[in-house]
Amino acid sequence: MSSLAHHHRPALLRALTVAAAALVLLATALTDAAFAHGSATDPPSRNYGCWQRWGSKFQDPSMATQDPMCWQAWQADPNAMWNWNGLYREQVKGNHQAAIPDGQLCSAGRTQGGRYQALDAVGAWQAAPKSRNFAVTVFDQARHGADYIRVYVTRQGFDPTRQSLGWGNLELVSQIGNTPASQWQQGSNGVTISIPASAPGRTGRHIVYTIWQASHMDQSYYFCSDVTFS
């Protein structure tokens, strides 16, 4: 073997290793997506927002200063963003508070082996500006519809940049009952529904917490969406 070939072999092996790792990551994301279903898209859930803003440039170092909470989430587990539509738990049987401890609401009790744990991190997540009369839009990729959807908002005085989210910080502000996918707004890639809500007395930063109970089986989805109420 020539000395030139020997010199280039380590670099080639490194390149092949990186390429193989990228293919495994993509295959995992595509496989998981096949069994996933949706998210809150407006105001966006934390991982949907991170994917929407940075999915095409998730290795851009400027994210660390422009969007530091998304940066730490991408570093912790990129699959939490690629699989933005898979943040659920099964067989909760409606006992949401028993299944999900305080401080773990945004990750659905560290579901999926802790994949979404970084979404529980306390800090200044990018927040969508909203009026106190607003709506939550849920996207259902698999067209399963809902047994119910419940929308909560943090109580006035709660500071999501300094406090971890617990059930006692939330107030139910809106809900809908059984709603088949045929009654949702139809789209080429799935269906959407908007749930009107009102958060009187709220100003400043808050978390909108949405529980979507899908109709096809006992599968519960949990979304933390950061907002700023004017």
Which tens digit of pLDDT belongs to each residue from 154-198?
999 999 999 999 999 999 999 999 999 999 999 988 999 999 999
Angle 19-20-24 from CA coordinates, rounded to 5°: 120
- As given in the structure block, the two tokens for residue 82 are 């690629």
Q: What percent of the chain has pLDDT over 90?
A: 80
Instruction: Answer whether 159's CB lies under 8 Å from 205's CB.
Output: yes
pLDDT of 3 > 60? The answer is no
pLDDT reported for residue 32: 43
From residue 106, alpha-carbon distances to 84, 101, 121, 131, 179 in Å are 12, 10, 9, 22, 24
pLDDT of 10 > 50? The answer is no
pLDDT of 18 > 70? The answer is no
pLDDT of 20 > 60? The answer is no
pLDDT tens-digit series, residues 77-105: 999 999 999 999 999 999 999 999 999 99
CA distance 224 to 160: 11
Nearest to 107 by CA among 130, 84, 137: 84
- Angle of helix 68-76 relative to helix 46-54, nearest 10 degrees, comes to 100
| Residue 44 or residue 13, greater confidence | 44
pTM of the model: 0.85
